[in-house]
Amino acid sequence: MENNAGKEENAEYPQETIDLLNDPQFFGRMNDPTASSYLKGPCGDSMEFYLVIEEGRITEIKYYTQGCSATRACAAMTAKLARGKSLKEALSISAKEVSDSLRGLPDEHLHCSILAVSTLYRAVADYLLRL
């Protein structure tokens, strides 16, 4: 997924974050996930997470959003941090860990990291409530 729409907006991020934004491995929807979630943030951006959970671990994860670069970056970093983790480990990912990992998330976009982890938590809850 090459997203050139926000090139000027992306200029404030380190190259690793821009690379993550353009990496298609975490972006998209799943047809048959083990769990999924949807949330709409206070800024109006919406986010979706899709998880495949096997033996208590997140083996596959995807996000989908049409939000701003900060929303996409936070979702992608959350997915990167959660892949391969146990459910308990995934639930310990914090908004601060996401924003610190992005190294350059502007303060006015910190709510995007909260949206990302909240959407992840809701996807994990979706799975746990089905047990």
Tokens of 6: 């926000």
**Residue-wise pLDDT tens for the chain (131 aa)?**
444 444 445 557 788 888 888 889 999 999 999 999 999 998 999 999 999 999 999 999 999 999 999 999 999 999 999 999 999 999 999 999 999 999 888 889 999 999 999 999 999 999 999 98
**Residue 2 exposed, middle or buried by CB count within 10 Å (0-12, 13-18, 19+):** exposed
* pTM, full prediction: 0.90
Domain ranges of the chain: 16-130
Give the C-alpha separation, 28 to 51, whole Å.
Answer: 12
Architecture of the domain delimited by 16-130? Alpha-Beta Complex (3.90)
Give the C-alpha separation, 104 to 15, whole Å.
Answer: 10
Give the C-alpha separation, 128 to 76, whole Å.
Answer: 23
